[in-house]
């Protein structure tokens, strides 16, 4: 079963609290997961950011909205209990509880009005959330990943339309930004000058030059196949090298990936166009910051005596 949306979790969550006892968020998540017969794979599904489980996040937001409507009350760190208003709701036996249902409660309307006043949008964020059944965290994560993916595609397109020398310089800039290559001068001299059996450059693994990394960086249009990776591996073995990085603007075939992963006593890292663009974004190469949003949450340690 797919992970239910957060509004579908509201009524089941309120029913969990119907016994009047204090409940923890963790035990509630477990109870609801069993109630919805979620497979282990569904339980482990992450938000687009990869920082939190989707189901846990949706239970969290279901509880938050129920609390805003005064159907649940916080009793401590990640703990809650049903309120009198919550009990009255359950006695009415509603078929479901969603954002639309919660609008009957003045406490929830006040919460929405405050949020909309701060936001200032024509369409309230809560109305958007209700339409697409995503939590606020999911909307932020999904939007961020979409913007990042579009940026990566634009980066890759510009790389492909640039001259070969630009690509060589780009590789140097990226490796230095990632902490490799020693000085910019050393790294620049190491790239594009070897040309020995598929090796395009040698760069220091660290600033002291304790080890060397052999490079092949090409602007391919077609998929890089296993024979090309094998040729690079042979060149590395011929130089008694232990580490190599192959960078392409296209992609690698599965056979090429399997071959690189299966070589004994030799480590070859394959970086395709998509990963190259993502690394450039991560290390601020060829991109500039346009805006920054900092999302904050409660510091539970600060309120540990609650």
Angle between helices 125-132 and 106-119 in degrees, nearest 10: 110
Residue 42 lies inside a defined structural domain of this protein? yes
Judge if 128 and 212 occupy the same domain: no
Question: Comparing C-alpha atoms, which of 127, 160, 135 is closest to residue 7?
Answer: 135
Please check whether residues 94 and 194 belong to one and the same domain.
no
Asked if the structure places residue 158 within a domain, the reply is: no
DSSP 17-56: GGG---EEHHHHHHHHHHHTT--HHHHTPBPTTSSSBHHH
- Say yes or no: 128 and 70 in one domain: yes
β-strands 212-218, 191-196 pairing? unpaired
What tokens appear for 111 in the block?
A: 């919460």
14, 130: one domain = yes
Confidence label for 300 from pLDDT (cuts 50, 70 and 90):
low
Structural domain range at position 32: 10-134
189-232 residue pLDDT tens: 555 555 555 677 788 877 777 788 888 888 888 999 999 999 99
- The angle formed by the CA atoms of residues 95, 97 and 99, to the nearest 5 degrees, is 145
For tokens 């949706």, the residue is: 58
* Domain count along the chain: 2
Residue with tokens 């401590």: 76
Taking the alpha carbons at both ends of the chain, their separation in whole angstroms is: 37
pLDDT in tens, 242-297: 889 999 999 999 999 999 999 888 999 999 999 999 999 999 999 998 877 777 87
Same domain, 14 and 129: yes
Say if 299 falls within a structural domain: no
- The CATH number linked to 50 is 1.10.10
How do residues 80-123 score in pLDDT, each as one tens digit?
999 999 999 999 999 999 999 999 999 999 888 776 554 544 44
Q: Give the residue from 233, 206, 202 showing the smallest Cα distance to 215.
A: 202
Summary mean pLDDT of the chain: 84
């Amino acid at each position: 079963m797919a992970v239910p949306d957060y509004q579908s979790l509201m009524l089941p969550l309120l029913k969990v609290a119907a016994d009047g006892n204090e409940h923890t968020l963790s035990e509630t998540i477990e109870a609801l997961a069993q109630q919805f017969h979620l497979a282990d794979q569904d339980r482990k599904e992450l938000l687009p950011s990869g920082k939190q489980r989707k189901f846990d996040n949706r239970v969290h937001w279901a509880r938050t909205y129920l609390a805003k409507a005064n159907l649940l009350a916080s009793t401590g760190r990640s703990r809650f209990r049903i309120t009198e208003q919550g009990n009255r709701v359950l006695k009415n036996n509603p078929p479901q509880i969603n954002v639309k249902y919660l609008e009957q409660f003045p406490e929830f309307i006040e919460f929405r009005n405050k949020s909309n006043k701060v936001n200032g949008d024509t369409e309230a964020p809560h109305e958007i959330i209700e339409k697409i059944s995503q939590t606020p965290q999911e909307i932020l994560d999904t939007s961020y990943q979409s913007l990042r993916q579009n940026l990566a595609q634009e980066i890759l397109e510009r790389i492909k339309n640039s001259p070969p020398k630009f690509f060589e310089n780009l590789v140097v800039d990226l490796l230095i930004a990632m902490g490799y290559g020693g000085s910019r001068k050393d790294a620049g001299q190491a790239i594009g000058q070897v040309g020995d059996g598929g090796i395009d450059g040698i760069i220091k693994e660290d600033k002291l030059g304790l080890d060397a990394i052999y490079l092949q960086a090409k602007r391919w249009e077609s998929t890089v196949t296993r024979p090309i990776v094998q040729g690079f591996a042979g060149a590395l073995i011929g130089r008694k090298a232990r580490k190599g990085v192959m960078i392409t603007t296209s992609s690698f075939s599965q056979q090429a990936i399997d071959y690189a992963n299966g070589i004994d006593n030799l480590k070859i890292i394959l970086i395709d166009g998509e990963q190259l663009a993502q690394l450039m974004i991560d290390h601020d190469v060829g991109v500039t910051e346009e805006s920054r949003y900092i999302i904050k949450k409660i510091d539970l340690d600060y309120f540990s005596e609650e």
